[in-house]
Amino acid sequence: MKKILIIFFCIIVQFSTLIAGNENNPIGGRSAALGNASVTFSDFWSIHNNQAGLAYFDNITAGFYYENRFGLSELSLKSGAFVLPTKSGVFGLSMNYFGYSQYNENKIGLAYAKSFGKKFSVGIQFDYLSTHIAENYGSKSLVTFEIGMIAKLTENLSIGTHFYNPISVKLNDYNDERVPYVGKLGLAYNFSDKVLLSVETEKETDIDPILKAGIEYRLIKEIYVRTGITTKPFVNTFGFGIKLKKLQFDFSSSLHPVLGYSPQISFIYNIK
């Protein structure tokens, strides 16, 4: 009974954000452990969180991410991505799948990022979104885009901004329903080569701004520990990462005050 109630509650939340949702979910175990305050990062999962961060990525790399929301497979989020650096910029391909056979949301993204010197980069991604609802409710597909920028203000301080669906594409003619627009602005500061602080604010259509913050500490060269928070509702996050020569593994979890834990895991493999 509890499982049914949680699924019902989460579906209501999805529909309250303009029917099918089509939210721009943050991706990656590192990001999740830091309260998803990752708009300033230049790492593999920038392909989802801010494409401008891909501009400084120089390895042919593939990765996979899985999130089990509140311990329910019906609310799981799966993501895969591939990044290809070239002389003219960095390209990326990503795919997301949220839900299960009766209700699911899919996103396919094609990204491009380029740096302008060592202190400024931009990125853009074109997205194909689709939603499927069973029992003859049908499917809906549409196209939108997202764009981001990152600037290194000093050696230790970076600022990043990202805009998802800035054109607010229409989802349904009924009540002029549209896919939510999401804007993010954040700062990251490296206190040393061991400690990183990341702070970010996010504003979504018709929803009050939320604050996200996280701290990352490098125990040794290969191992990181992380913790973070998000507001509205207040959610605690935590996790750790292991970074080897070609393989990176990140585990994290968030704790919702009502619905409980949502574990996340991601793998990244440097092909070349």
pLDDT tens string 35-72? 999 999 999 999 999 999 999 988 999 999 999 988 88
Q: How far apart are CA 11 and CA 21, in angstroms?
A: 10
> Which two three-digit tokens encode residue 150?
């990152």
Q: How far apart are CA 67 and CA 55, in angstroms?
A: 26
CB 26 within 8 A of CB 239: no
pLDDT tens-digit map of 189-207: 999 999 999 999 999 988 8
Nearest to 36 by CA among 21, 22, 50: 50
Read off the amino acid at residue 220: I
Strand partners, 139: 132
Strand partners, 107: 96, 129
Instruction: State yes or no: pLDDT of 18 exceeds 60.
Output: no
> Which two three-digit tokens encode residue 97?
């799948």
Tell me how far apart the terminal alpha carbons of the chain are, to the nearest angstrom: 49
> Which two three-digit tokens encode residue 149?
């920028």
pLDDT tens-digit map of 138-171: 788 999 999 999 999 999 999 999 999 999 887 7
> Which two three-digit tokens encode residue 106?
């899919």
Nearest to 204 by CA among 225, 181, 186: 181
CB 247 within 8 A of CB 222: no
Instruction: State yes or no: pLDDT of 13 exceeds 50.
Output: no
Of the listed ranges 1-15, 61-75, 220-234, the least confidently predicted one is 1-15
Q: How far apart are CA 231 and CA 201, in angstroms?
A: 10
Nearest to 267 by CA among 67, 83, 63, 88: 63
Q: How far apart are CA 59 and CA 129, in angstroms?
A: 28
Q: Looking at the domain 2-270, which fold is it? A: Porin (2.40.160)
Nearest to 181 by CA among 24, 37, 49: 24
Nearest to 67 by CA among 38, 104, 32: 32
